[in-house]
Structures are given as structure tokens and as C-alpha cells.
Structure 1
Amino acid sequence: MTGLLTEADGSPVAVENPEALSPVLLVCEHASRRLPEKMGALGLSEDALKSHIAWDPGALAVSQLLVKSLDAALIYQRFSRLVYDCNRPPEADAAMPAVSEVFEIPGNASISAAERLARTEALYVPFGNALSDFIVARKAQDRAPILITMHTFTPVYHGKQRDVEIGILHDEDTRLADAMLTAAEKTPGYTVRRNEPYGPSDGVTHTLIKHGLKNGLLNVMIEIRNDLVSNEVGQKVMADYLTGILGESLVALSQ
């Protein structure tokens, strides 16, 4: 393997249950806090690299539970968003952030154009290709997937407490989000809101636009407050809840 990643690093992308019977395609852009060998620690402490700035804690665990409960496919990024945030286009500063919340990222402070390109080619391009290839293959089988991106967010951001527990996010296509919000109203358990704690104006719908909207797919982004999925019990409860409202939503949309 050449470029940014070594043979020991392995593939930048993982695919689970590609032959899933369900149309649901789960995507987890911030699944891992792992850094490629050549990147060192980006000048950060171990505590910083374990925090939410490096990944979305709990997002992959919940996604993997949904793979089983929904018989869904899952595609996720195997390296930290600090190296490249695969939910951002290459031209965006946030794709390789020099600052994340209150943390400065020394290893991202002055990235050359050549290094930006190397990161893009090593992580963003293969991740996007994996999504595109999966979608093309499913559409060729007349089995258009339903794109669901999975994220978590920190309970406190810039010192402000967030009371929303689950965010149902969308861009221009509101169909799946509307159905999920309707199902959530009938299924108490969490505080669920539309386009919180982020929305399209925050630049978080890149994957939805590039792979969902442009392919005419039903799509939604799910944001979970990470303190709710910090252990296996919370992850299971959350996965059960999402399985229920997703299942109800897909039935409603198929009628």
C-alpha cells in the first residue's frame, strides 16, 4: 500500500453485511478514532484523541446492532475524522480541521496542498467510491438503498448543555425524516427533534447530498447524544428504539 496508509493500517473503509436483504444502508463516517501510522498523534494528548473531537463515540456500536436488527448493510470509515472528515468535501476547512471545538490540532495547523491531496486520496476517495459502488450495484438490481448516516454528539458544546437526545437531520428531501419524527411522536422515550443539534447550514449533510439526494434515495442523518450510548446497555436500548421508529417509518413510506 502506498501513500498515507501503510500495509499495517489496512483498508480505509469497512463494509459489513453487503448482501443484506433490507434496503437500509447505514453509513458511519466518524466510526473510529484510529490514526494512520504515518500521522503519529497529530500533536494531541491521549485524552484528546479519546474525546469526541476524534470520532463519534457509540455511533459504530449502535450501527452494528442495527445491522443485525434490520438486516442492513453498513459502510464505515476506519480512521479518525481528524485526519479526514469524510462528511466534508475536500475544499472544506472542516475536512481537515486545524481547530475542533476548544482543541487546536497541531498536526493539521499548516497542511500543504500536497498533504491535503494525499489525505483526500487515501481516505475520502475510497470511502466515497465504496458508497457509490454499493449504490450503483443495488440500483442495477432494482433495489435502491435507503441511506441512513449515523452520528453521535457531545452533551456539552462550548460550555452549553444540549437537551436534545436524538436529532433527525435532513437536507432538501424530508420524506424519511418526516416519517421518523411522526413515529417518534408516538414512541416516547427520548427527546427527538428535527435538524438539531446541527442542520444543513452547518455543512453536515454532505454525504446525504452527494450519495442520497443526487441518487434520488430516501435519506436521513441520525444524531445521538453520546452519553446515552456510552455503554452496551445504552447502545442496545437506543438500537431497539431506532429499530422501532425506522421500521414504522419504512412501512409508512411504502404504502
Structure 2
Amino acid sequence: MSTTEASPSVELHNPAGMGPVVLLCEHASHHIPSSYHELGLDPRHRYSHAAWDPGARELALRLSQALDAPLVASRVSRLVYDCNRPPEAASAMPERSEIIEVPGNHQLTPDQRQARIESVYRPFCRSVTQVIEARTERQHPTALVTVHSFTPDYHGRPRAVEIGVLHDADSRLADAMLTQASHLAHRKIERNAPYGPEDGVTHSLKLHGIGHGLPNVMLEIRNDLLSTPDAIQIMAGELLQLIEPALAELGLTRPGPKGSHHA
């Protein structure tokens, strides 16, 4: 599986993948470029879930390999810029993440905000658009799947949900996946949980999925289920039991030779 550096802030895996999915991982990295002086974060929080989605990148890589799917992932912490938020959103460069203060994001000037938009968000969006447009030109069937993780506790309250299947106005892929949930009877799977559109988390789905007319879904996995390579491999296998039948139900199959298609 090939890997390229689309830009210093974006990594692109398997760009020529022939499967019917494009994967995104907006919160793949906790890297904070040195020019931001670690955003003044308390060292205890430097590698916490506030800075990234633990396990999400590794899970997305496993799915990319299994599905022969291109993967676009951010190389920069979401505290510098959250690529799943539009530039006008306060949460794109949050001053506070849950209970964690981010001093380096306080009182940013318009020029400082624009510099982050241009160095992190725009390159990510360009990479996604280039991958999708290349597939569109080839009339390559495509669904968009974004990969995230979430904490087992939120403000001290435990979360029972283990796998969240999130959607915005287009629920086609989410609906098709949820009809397969009985195959994972041991898992707590919920629609639009632990977050939903009302929480402002579906920006990528709207911009890159709905905006290009693609079926789309956001996957949220509780991060205690992604704590080891073996656990990540197990979760990837379980998710494929939801994803692959859903793709088939929507008629999204891998292109074959001379314009034919096969599953």
C-alpha cells in the first residue's frame, strides 16, 4: 500500500486504491508544529484525546488495506486546527476542549487564524477533493467513510456506546450499516452517538460527502477498544462486517476490467 506526503500537514495512503470507499481521518495525529510552542498545554494533556483521536489512524490504515481504499489523514493535532470543522467555527481552533485549556488558542488574531486555515485545513480539503474528483472522472463508485475515536467517559460520565454510526442529511450508508448490527450482537452500536449533527461534528460528511453526492458515514469507536494492535485488528474486522454488506446493498462495488463491476 503506497504512502505519500500530500503536504507537511496531510498524509495520503493508497491514493490509487480501487475499492469503493474513500477514508478520512481528520484527528489522526497529536503533532503540534514547534512554531506553536505546544500551544501552552499542560504536559499531562499533550497526548490526550483532546489533541487527537487515539487509535483512529491505525484503525483507518487497517480499513484502507482491507478495502483497498485511499486514506487522507491529517498530520497535525486538531488543537492547531480541527479538519472536521469549518473555519468560522470556534471549535476549529478551540480555546478549551472539554476541561482542558488551550492557552495557545486564546485571542488569536484574524491573521493567525487564517495562517492555520491555509497551512492545515486547505491542504487537507484539497487532498480529499483531488482523490474524489479523480475517482469521479473514472466513474468509480465511491462512498466516504470518516474514522474517529471517543473517550469512555465524558465529564465523568461513562459512555455505554461502543460503536457510533453517524450521519447528517444523507443516511443511506448509515442505514445500510445499521441493518447489519445484529452481526455484532456483543457490541453496543448506536445511531448518531455519542455525538450527532447537532454537535457540529458532520462538517466533513457535508462538505466532502454530500457536497460530492457520495453516500457517507462517520464512524466513532470508543477508544478503550483500540488500545492495542490486536484490539485494533479485531475492531477493523468487526467494522468490515457492517461496511462491506452495506456497500453491496447500495450497489457500490469494486470496478472490474472494461467497465464491468464485481463485488
Q: Which residue is equivalent to 1:162?
A: 159
Q: Distance in 2 between matches of 1:230 and 1:236?
A: 11
1:144-176 per-position Cα deviation (integer Å, ceiling 9, x unaligned): 421000000001111111000000000001110
Q: Which residue is equivalent to 1:109?
A: 106
Q: Distance in 2 between matches of 1:31 and 1:187?
A: 26
TM-score normalised by the chain length of structure 1: 0.94
5+ long unaligned stretches in structure 1: 1-9
Q: Distance in 1 between matches of 2:203 and 2:22?
A: 16
Whether the 8 Å CA contact 2:183–2:241 is kept in 1: the answer is no
The percentage of aligned residue pairs carrying the same residue is 48
2:72 equivalent to 1:93? no
Q: Distance in 2 between matches of 1:46 and 1:33?
A: 13
2:74 equivalent to 1:77? yes
Root-mean-square deviation (CA, aligned residues, Å) is 1.1
* Equivalent runs, 1:143-182 vs 2, <5 Å: 143-182=140-179
Whether the 8 Å CA contact 1:43–1:106 is kept in 2: the answer is yes
**Aligned equivalent of 2:208, options 208, 211, 221:** 211
Q: Distance in 1 between matches of 2:66 and 2:135?
A: 20
Report the secondary structure of 1:240's partner residue.
helix
Q: Which deviates the most, 25-34 or 243-252?
A: 243-252
* Equivalent runs, 1:189-200 vs 2, <5 Å: 189-200=186-197
Q: Distance in 2 between matches of 1:215 and 1:144?
A: 12
Q: Which residue is equivalent to 1:7?
A: none
Q: Distance in 1 between matches of 2:184 and 2:39?
A: 43
2:42 equivalent to 1:45? yes
Q: Distance in 2 between matches of 1:43 and 1:237?
A: 37
- 1:189: Cα distance to partner? 2.8
Q: Which deviates the most, 137-146 or 158-167?
A: 137-146
Whether the 8 Å CA contact 1:88–1:204 is kept in 2: the answer is yes
Q: Which residue is equivalent to 2:238?
A: 241
Report the secondary structure of 2:164's partner residue.
strand
Q: Distance in 2 between matches of 1:211 and 1:144?
A: 15
Q: Which amino acid aligns with 1:48?
A: H
Q: Distance in 1 between matches of 2:121 and 2:88?
A: 12
Report the secondary structure of 1:72's partner residue.
coil
Whether the 8 Å CA contact 1:135–1:144 is kept in 2: the answer is no
Q: Which residue is equivalent to 1:131?
A: 128
Q: Distance in 1 between matches of 2:142 and 2:250?
A: 14
Q: Which amino acid aligns with 1:108?
A: N
5+ long unaligned stretches in structure 2: 1-6, 253-263
Q: Which amino acid aligns with 1:168?
A: V
- 1:67: Cα distance to partner? 1.2
TM-score normalised by the chain length of structure 2: 0.91
- Hey, which bits of structure 1, 4+ residues long, moved more than 4 A? none
Q: Distance in 1 between matches of 2:72 and 2:123?
A: 11
- 1:46: Cα distance to partner? 2.6
Q: Distance in 2 between matches of 1:155 and 1:186?
A: 23
Q: Distance in 2 between matches of 1:135 and 1:251?
A: 20
**Aligned equivalent of 1:56, options 46, 53, 62:** 53
Q: Which amino acid aligns with 1:82?
A: L
Q: Which residue is equivalent to 2:228?
A: 231
